[in-house]
Amino acid sequence: MTIAAGAAVSVAALLLAFAIAPLAARWSAREAVIEARVETLARLRALVRDEATLKSVLLQRESGGAISPLVSGRTAALAGSALQTTIQEYAAGSRVTISRLDLAGPADSAKYSLPVIPASVSAVGDVYGVTEFLSRLQYGSPVVEIRQLTLVSNSALRDGLLQLSVSLRAPAVIDR
């Protein structure tokens, strides 16, 4: 009787460990992928639905002399310089001090229709300045894609300043 109960408990534990738990993990991962795809599809449908509105806003900005939504220059280096200038202006307006601003290499156009200029920024500022800086990067012009963000509260810095590292890339228009 005791041996049968022990065997039943062992079989149940093995079944749980090698059948039910992996199946649940696979199911959960599959649901996460489906949810991400549904969200992406919803974004794409919204862009298609609002295409006319987006085009009209873009035409209004271009005709009104507004700042171009893309970084531009006669060469990739000049477009990168324009991106650096914009990032420095955002930092100055946000009361954030940039300690390092590097273009991370040549313009990458292998996977994209436009050349993409990669950059990395390290900066220091208080929580309000960092928030405003990130908001300007996200919603400002030119368009940038934030690829990686690291935010660290450094006790060595005075007055509760935060250390920020951002890797980003910006599509560029090369005027020939």
> Is residue 117 one of the residues assigned to a domain?
yes
pLDDT at 144 over 90: no
Overall domain count for the chain: 2
Tens digit of each residue's pLDDT (9 = 90 or more) over 113-124: 678 889 999 999
What is the distance in angstroms between the CA of the first residue and the CA of the last residue of the chain? 87
Say whether both 43 and 77 belong to one domain: no
Say whether both 79 and 159 belong to one domain: yes
> Is residue 128 one of the residues assigned to a domain?
yes
**Tell me, what's the pLDDT at 79?**
87
pLDDT at 52 over 70: yes
| Domain region containing 125 | 68-174
Say whether both 82 and 156 belong to one domain: yes
The average confidence (pLDDT) of the chain is 83
Say whether both 72 and 45 belong to one domain: no
DSSP 47-90: HHHTHHHHHHHHHHHHHTTPPPSSEEESSHHHHHHHHHHHHHHH
8 A C-beta contact, residue 123 and residue 133: yes
pLDDT mean over 16-34: 90
> Is residue 56 one of the residues assigned to a domain?
no
CATH number for the domain that contains residue 111: 3.30.70.60
Say whether both 106 and 154 belong to one domain: yes
How far, in whole angstroms, is CA 141 from its chain's centroid?
15
Tens digit of each residue's pLDDT (9 = 90 or more) over 27-47: 999 999 999 899 889 888 888
SS3 148: strand
> Is residue 42 one of the residues assigned to a domain?
yes
**Tell me, what's the pLDDT at 113?**
66
Say whether both 99 and 152 belong to one domain: yes
**Tell me, what's the pLDDT at 146?**
87
Say whether both 169 and 103 belong to one domain: yes
Measure the CA angle with vertex 19, ends 14 and 23; round to 5°. 150
> Is residue 137 one of the residues assigned to a domain?
yes
Q: Residue 172 pairs with which residues in a beta bridge? A: 71
> Is residue 126 one of the residues assigned to a domain?
yes
> Is residue 155 one of the residues assigned to a domain?
yes
Radius of gyration of the chain (CA): 25
Dihedrals phi, psi of 104, to nearest 5 degrees: -80, 20
pLDDT category of residue 92 using cuts at 50, 70 and 90: very high
Specify the higher pLDDT residue, 64 or 85: 85
**Strand pairing category for 116-125 and 71-73:** unpaired
8 A C-beta contact, residue 150 and residue 56: no
> Is residue 59 one of the residues assigned to a domain?
no
**Tell me, what's the pLDDT at 107?**
53
User: What is the CB-side half-sphere exposure of residue 58 using CA atoms within 13 A?
Assistant: 11
pLDDT category of residue 50 using cuts at 50, 70 and 90: confident
